Structure 1
Amino acid sequence: MARKQRTPRWLEAARRRGPEDVQPSGRSDWLARALGKAGVMPRAQAEAAIREGRVTLDGRVEHEPFAPVRPEMEVRVDGLVRNLEAPVLTLMFHKPAGLVVHGSDAEGVGTVFECLRERLTQPLRDYEWLAVGRLDRDTTGLLLFTNDERLVQHGTSPERHLPKRYVAGVVGPPPEDALRRLREGLVLEDGPTRPAGARLRAPDVVELTLTEGRNHQVKRMLAAVGHPVRTLHREAVGGVTLDVPEGAWRLLTDEEVSQGLSFSVS
């Protein structure tokens, strides 16, 4: 039986108000997300401000964080008009080992969101930053963040085939036959993989370039050819190559986003 798809909370809030608030795709957003996207305040803070009655839409106090907001509406926070026109911002972050790409960490080590926000300068701290994909706790390297959910969808969509380059330290030196199998594609428990770019950088170091993003795929592919991963590092996504030290970040230029990630920022 097909699983029933849950109605988004912003759409439920819009329907409670009436059909005039249910707009075509791309014409509206929900209030707390729009405030985070525009850099007014991070989404959690925006939700609290809305519930406290500090936000108005067209002169009316709004208490629903998922209330639809349209471009022509006047939005005020603490009495000040706030512009919700948001530029597409993207940054690279060099993820250290140990951090998780989740909202919280049950083991108490920390999350990439906490680590990044501590390092950001104003006004960038006031944006809601979304991770473009994930990396395992023990994986280091390039992790992209953006304030625009469309870029997240673009960067993680299976149809885009955006290449991602990894460097893996493995157990034992892989022979040419193992590299050939990686290049041709393997059959894993969840189906065949797309052909990958594979070459040696050192006797026990493999560079692997994937154009898909399954769970733990690099580790599973290398284990399937008899060379389990000891260390894993992502150094590039599309045409964007990591160039900052561990724990550091920098904003990408519009050219890097449009050409390196094939995403239009307009």
Structure 2
Amino acid sequence: MARKTKTPRWLEAARRRTGPVSPGARTDWLARALGRAGVMPRAEAEKAIRDGRVEVGGRVEREPFAPVHSGVEVRVDGQVRSMEAPLLVLMFHKPAGVVVAGTDPESVGTVFERLREVLPAELQCFEWYAIGRLDRDTTGLLLFTNDERVVQHGTSPDTHLPKRYVADVAGRPSEEALARLREGLVLDDGPTRPAGARLLGPERVELVLTEGRHHQVKRMLAAVGHPVRTLHREAVGTVVLDVPVGTWRKLSESEVSEGLGFNSTST
């Protein structure tokens, strides 16, 4: 007998949607929409919804995955809350030791905790998504957004968004090793795209990738005989890290549209 696949809750909620949706209106599930609009982070939104504190279109809604479209009135604790969500992208200088995950089994800390520690009050209620990942011991530029479309754009293998890294390695890479990186290598998960590679110092290499596989920089450099000792990401697209460790800033509209190549109207 074939095993029955469980339908995701968000899909079940979408199938239960009733009433017309205006052409061009953006539809989302309720808890995520509250987080995107900066009403409250998603985990808090889910609890508030289940506790009966949220009304959609004049009715109490207790399903966090209930569909909600732009234009509908949403109240939290009786107060009308705007669901208009500004498109926000933040640059954060990730320190070593923290993980890009919701929890840290080693109790050192997560980037989400570190980011919230330094954000002002007006940004605390947004749900923040990391655009890609960095290993625990990797430092440098990590981008966050309140809009999952930017995450999809920034991490899609079809985008070819360049990411620039600086690695301190064991030994001095030869021109032959750099040429292999530029041409692309065959790793255990298949061939890589050609990379930008140049020597910055006796044991320091700059590598520019247009894909983002698991531990890719470390695996590529190990494959040419130069294991990574430290790794730092300097840039994504043409957005260059320019804030101190553990601090952040908001990207401008041009940095998002031109630097990251994200166009919200066509996504």
TM-score normalised to structure 1 length: 0.94
Partner of 2:71: 72
Partner Cα distance (1:5, 1:95) in 2: 39
Q: Which letter does structure 1 place at the counterpart of 2:127?
A: E
Q: Which letter does structure 2 place at the counterpart of 1:203?
A: P
Contact 2:21 2:69 in 1 (8 A): no
How much has 1:27 moved relative to structure 2? 3.2
Partner of 1:225: 224
Partner of 2:37: 38
Contact 2:25 2:70 in 1 (8 A): no
Alignment CA distance shift 1:6-1:248 (3 Å): farther
Partner Cα distance (1:133, 1:26) in 2: 28
Size of the alignment, in residue pairs?
263
Q: Deviations over 1:69-118 (max 9, x none)?
A: 01131100011111111111000000000000000000000000011011
Residues 12-91 of structure 1: pairs in structure 2 closer than 5 A: 12-15=12-15, 17-18=16-17, 20=19, 27-91=26-90
Alignment CA distance shift 1:121-1:112 (3 Å): same
How much has 1:33 moved relative to structure 2? 0.2
Partner of 1:10: 10
Partner Cα distance (1:25, 1:135) in 2: 35
Kindly indicate whether residue 184 of structure 2 is the aligned counterpart of residue 180 of structure 1: no
Partner Cα distance (1:200, 1:20) in 2: 60
Query: What secondary structure does 1:123 align onto?
Result: helix
Partner Cα distance (2:38, 2:82) in 1: 9
Alignment CA distance shift 1:123-1:233 (3 Å): same
Residues 1-266 of structure 1: pairs in structure 2 closer than 5 A: 7-15=7-15, 17-18=16-17, 20=19, 27-266=26-265
Alignment CA distance shift 1:220-1:22 (3 Å): farther
Partner Cα distance (2:231, 2:212) in 1: 15
Partner Cα distance (1:10, 1:25) in 2: 21
Q: Percent identity?
A: 73
Alignment CA distance shift 1:133-1:6 (3 Å): farther
Q: Which letter does structure 2 place at the counterpart of 1:133?
A: G
Query: What secondary structure does 1:83 align onto?
Result: coil
Contact 1:21 1:68 in 2 (8 A): no
How much has 1:10 moved relative to structure 2? 1.8
TM-score normalised to structure 2 length: 0.94
CA RMSD in angstroms comes to 1.9
Contact 1:13 1:67 in 2 (8 A): yes
Query: What secondary structure does 2:121 align onto?
Result: coil
Q: Which letter does structure 2 place at the counterpart of 1:255?
A: S
Q: Which letter does structure 1 place at the counterpart of 2:213?
A: R
Structure 2 stretches lacking a partner, 5+ long:
none
Alignment CA distance shift 1:260-1:109 (3 Å): same
Contact 2:50 2:64 in 1 (8 A): yes
How much has 1:18 moved relative to structure 2? 4.9
Query: What secondary structure does 2:161 align onto?
Result: coil
How much has 1:133 moved relative to structure 2? 0.2
Partner Cα distance (1:227, 1:132) in 2: 28
Contact 1:94 1:141 in 2 (8 A): yes
Q: Deviations over 1:114-153 (max 9, x none)?
A: 1101110021011000000000000000000000000000
How much has 1:9 moved relative to structure 2? 2.2
Alignment CA distance shift 1:117-1:142 (3 Å): same
How much has 1:24 moved relative to structure 2? 9.0
Q: Which letter does structure 2 place at the counterpart of 1:248?
A: T
